[in-house]
Amino acid sequence: MSAADQLTEWHSVRPWRPTLTLSVREITSVSVTFILSSLFAGPDATHPEPSLASLGLSSSDDDDQDPDSSADSSQSHIVSDVLAKGLSVKVNGAPWQRVLMKVDDEADEAVIILFGLLPGRQYDVELGILPGERSIRGQVTTADAEVQPNSSAPDAPSEENARPSTESSTSHSQPASASPPRPNGTLPHAGASPTASAPPALTLEDRRVQLTHTLNMLNAEHASLGTALKTARREAQRADAALRAEIDALKRAADKHAAGEQRARQKVLALQEAAKQTAAAARELDELVADIEAALPALEARRAEVEKE
């Protein structure tokens, strides 16, 4: 990717609204640090740092007031006024809660830290101002676990790993482009020098506080997961005990009726045997009747002869 592509910024056509710039300050194996600043803040406003993207946001909810008076009144605390509406952070399309933010009113900029990431992974980061403002999406790649980040030169990993996305999700009808018209008073930034002065790096104390906070968050999450695991185990044990009790009750009921079922089977067998014997006796009687009926004519003739004599 050429240097001109790395310096490309996106602006929105929002007259009389200050333009905010979001730039990558530092990328480590587990966190990414962004700087949110205003293009109108400070003497270097016309030469901002290479940024991941730009936001056209308003620091005032009233769009009908005079543009000059609105710009003069909000120029001192543009970032703090905008962030008062709320900050939305999404990582890979899901809301991300592990965010640290510190606003510097004197420099009129905000430091936004996303922590809890995995080393050597590529993430799709989306930041936006609530409610319903333009959101900025970019891809960053965290450093490997074996590589120590160079805190003295945070621009190097920013230029290598922070690749601005060509897509910008927006709630407005007109999408952002590479070189749209800029609001009044905003100078073009395509020719910004890549050697612009970088913001001061985090001190060891700030880094220690950040890592301590991250450790506390991880410990709290570990404790929460342990409690949830214990609760799930207790519920599983109770469910298993209830199933075992039901199985035992069914076994006792089956054993109770087993003896009566055996007696009923014996009675059925006895009745079947008696029915067989009765059928055999009936057949014998039928045969005897048939023999008697067959001998009856001869006996009748014999009786007639005897009567004649």
- The pLDDT profile of the chain, 309 residues, written as one tens digit per residue, is 444 444 444 444 444 455 677 788 889 988 889 888 876 654 444 444 434 444 444 433 444 444 444 444 445 677 777 777 777 888 988 888 888 888 887 877 888 898 988 888 889 888 887 666 667 788 888 888 754 444 444 443 444 443 443 333 333 333 333 334 343 333 333 333 444 455 566 788 888 888 999 999 999 999 999 999 999 999 999 999 999 999 999 999 888 888 888 888 899 999 999 999 999 999 999 999 999 889 888 888 888 888 887
Q: What is the structure's pLDDT at 5?
A: 45
Q: How far apart are CA 82 and CA 59, in angstroms?
A: 5
Q: Which domains does the chain have, with CATH numbers?
A: 3-186 (2.60.40.10)
Please give the structure tokens belonging to residue 122: 């590529």
Q: How far apart are CA 113 and CA 27, in angstroms?
A: 10
Q: How far apart are CA 185 and CA 72, in angstroms?
A: 12
Opening angle at CA 117, ends 112 and 122, nearest 5 = 100
Predicted TM-score (pTM) of this structure: 0.36
